[in-house]
Amino acid sequence: MESIVCLAAHPDDLAFCMGGTLLLLKDHCRIHVLCATKGERGLDGQGLDETAAIREKEEQAACDILGAELTFLGRIDREVFADEPTCRLVAKAVDRIAPSALFALWSIDSHPDHAAVSEIARKAVFLARTPPPLVYYEAAIGTQTTQFRPDVYVDITAVMDRKNELIRCHACQNPDDALVQWNLAQFRHRGAEAGCEYAEGFKLTRPIKMTPDALLAHLA
C-alpha cells in the first residue's frame, strides 16, 4: 500500500484544508501526519500547555477517523521557522516513509507558520534521498492563502458531511460551528470552479503517480 505524508502547521489545518481528500484516500493509502505545533496559542486566555493538551487530543481524534499516524514536530505556535534542524527532521521522516507525495501548505500565506511550513517542505524535499513530488494545499482563501490557482481539483461532494464531522473534532476552534460554515463556503467556491458541488484544490510541482481512486483521477 502506498503512503503519503501531510505536513501541517497547526492541529486543525488538514481537516479544514484537505480533509475531504484524505477521507477519500484513507482506505487506499497510509496517511502520515506531521504537525509542526500543537497550536499552543490557539485559545485566548488559556496557557500554552493547557491549550496544547486540548488541541493534541482533538488532532488525535481527527487522525483516528482517518486512520492516520500522527507525529508532532515539537515546534511552538507562531514560532515555526524553516531552520536546518526542522527541515532535516522532516527529510528524515520522508526518507523513512518513502511517500508517493508530500502535501504542504502553499507558500504565499499571511500566517507566518503556514509560510514556514511550506518552506520546510521545499527544503525537506531537497534534502531527502529520494524526494517525493510536493503537492501544495491552501488554507483560508483570501484571508490567509493568496495567489493560489489550483492545478487540479478533487471532488469531495460525496464526503462533505464526513469532512464537517472531521472539522468538528477540533471543537475549540469551531465555536457555533463557524469553522464548518467557513468550510462549506470556501469549498463550494472551489466546487463551482471544478464543476461540482464541493472540491478541494491542489498545486503540483511535478507529475505524481498514485493509484487510490479519489486522487488518482486528478493527480495520476
Q: What is the pLDDT of residue 207?
A: 61
CB atoms within 10 A of CB 72: 16
Nearest to 131 by CA among 98, 89, 159, 106: 98
Contact yes or no for 32/4 (Cβ under 8 A)? yes
Q: What is the pLDDT of residue 206?
A: 72
Q: What is the enclosing helix (H) or strand (E) of 169?
A: none
Altogether, the residues listed in the chain come to a count of 220
Mean pLDDT for each consecutive 10-residue tract of the chain (220 residues)?
95 98 93 99 95 98 99 98 99 97 97 98 98 95 93 94 98 96 96 97 76 46
Q: What is the pLDDT of residue 220?
A: 38
Q: What is the pLDDT of residue 145?
A: 96
Domain span at 141: 2-219
DSSP 112-159: HHHHHHHHHHHHHHHHSSSPPPEEEE--SBTTTB-S---SEEEE-GGG
CATH number at residue 150: 3.40.50.10320
Q: Is 39 helix (H, G, I), strand (E, B) or coil?
A: coil
How many separate domains does the chain show? 1
Q: What is the pLDDT of residue 212?
A: 44
DSSP 9-36: SSTTHHHHHHHHHHHHHTTTEEEEEEES
Contact yes or no for 101/136 (Cβ under 8 A)? no
